[in-house]
Structure 1
Amino acid sequence: MSSSVPRTVKAIETTELLRLDDEARERGYNRHHGPGWLATNVAPSAIHYLHPVVVHNAGRRPEFSPHWRCALLLKLPDDQEIFSLLDVWPPSFEALPETLDAETKSAISHQLLEGNLPTQAQWVASNAGDHGE
């Protein structure tokens, strides 16, 4: 497996995002959203974006290391966008289709890494009264 992350961004539907999040929990990765959080809070028909940013090792689960820590652009039902992280098994990421052109990938990468998006934690804190969190 490569010792570096691919320089790409992939668009994923909510159903695929939920599957990848479940996989992250099953593999014991640190960056996932917990059972039900995504299904409750993201737009069901939205497109979200994954951008691998760093190779990460799971010391207690060497059979699932290394994996990629991805920046994640989440779309909420009110069209708000927030930043999160998701650990992804490289073969699972590589199986996702490439559907974005270079200009779109660059724009999303810039938005994720330099766009000052609210983080998932900030969004949860500011909406705690609205969602019973």
Structure 2
Amino acid sequence: MTSGVPRTVKAVSTPELVRLDSQAIEFRLNRNHGAGWLTRYADPEATHFLRPFLLHRLSHRPEVSPHVRCMLLLRMRDGQQIFSLLDVMPASFDALPDTLDAAAMARIVHLLDHGGLPTQAEWASGNT
């Protein structure tokens, strides 16, 4: 990974997202959903989208610094799309395939930036 924030959007399946979330929990990264949360609430058949926006550096934890903080467009079992965050290790992010064309990435970026999506916390307060 270069020293800057990757300028891309990556599509991920629910099983892959659960794996990335489990890795964030294992490495004690701040932005994760908690054990079992995605399995319980995310649509198991959906494609979700990760958009990096920050390389998070932790001087007191060099073994996980930097890691990629991503905006997450997440589809829930009830069909609603929500906004969340997920911290991803650089090698794990880089290993995700690039499957989206520029137009699809632009639509997702626009939705994440301007779509008025409920946050994970807002969605959870009305659905758990």
Give your verdict on TM over 0.5: yes
Which letter maps to 2:35?
P
Q: Which residue of 1 aligns with 2:5?
A: 5
Q: Which runs of 4+ in 1 moved over 4 A?
A: none
Which letter maps to 1:13?
S
Aligned-residue Cα RMSD (Å) equals: 1.1
Q: TM-score, normalised by structure 2?
A: 0.95
Deviates more, 1:51-60 or 1:18-27: 51-60
Aligned counterparts, 1:19-38, within 5 A? 19-38=19-38
State the number of aligned residues.
Answer: 128
- Give the distance between the partners of 1:59 and 1:38, measured in 2 at CA: 29
Which letter maps to 1:65?
S
- Give the distance between the partners of 2:58 and 2:24, measured in 1 at CA: 11
- Give the distance between the partners of 1:59 and 1:75, measured in 2 at CA: 34
Q: Which residue of 2 aligns with 1:54?
A: 54
Is this contact kept in 2: 1:29–1:58, CA < 8 A? no
Q: Which residue of 1 aligns with 2:89?
A: 89
Q: TM-score, normalised by structure 1?
A: 0.92
- Give the distance between the partners of 2:37 and 2:58, measured in 1 at CA: 23
Q: State the 1:4 CA deviation.
A: 1.4
- Listed as ranges, the gaps of 5+ residues in structure 1 are none
Identity of aligned residues (%): 55
- Listed as ranges, the gaps of 5+ residues in structure 2 are none
Q: State the 1:39 CA deviation.
A: 0.3
- Give the distance between the partners of 1:23 and 1:102, measured in 2 at CA: 28
Q: Which residue of 2 aligns with 1:104?
A: 104
The residue matched to 1:45 in structure 2 has which SS?
Answer: coil
- Give the distance between the partners of 1:78 and 1:123, measured in 2 at CA: 11
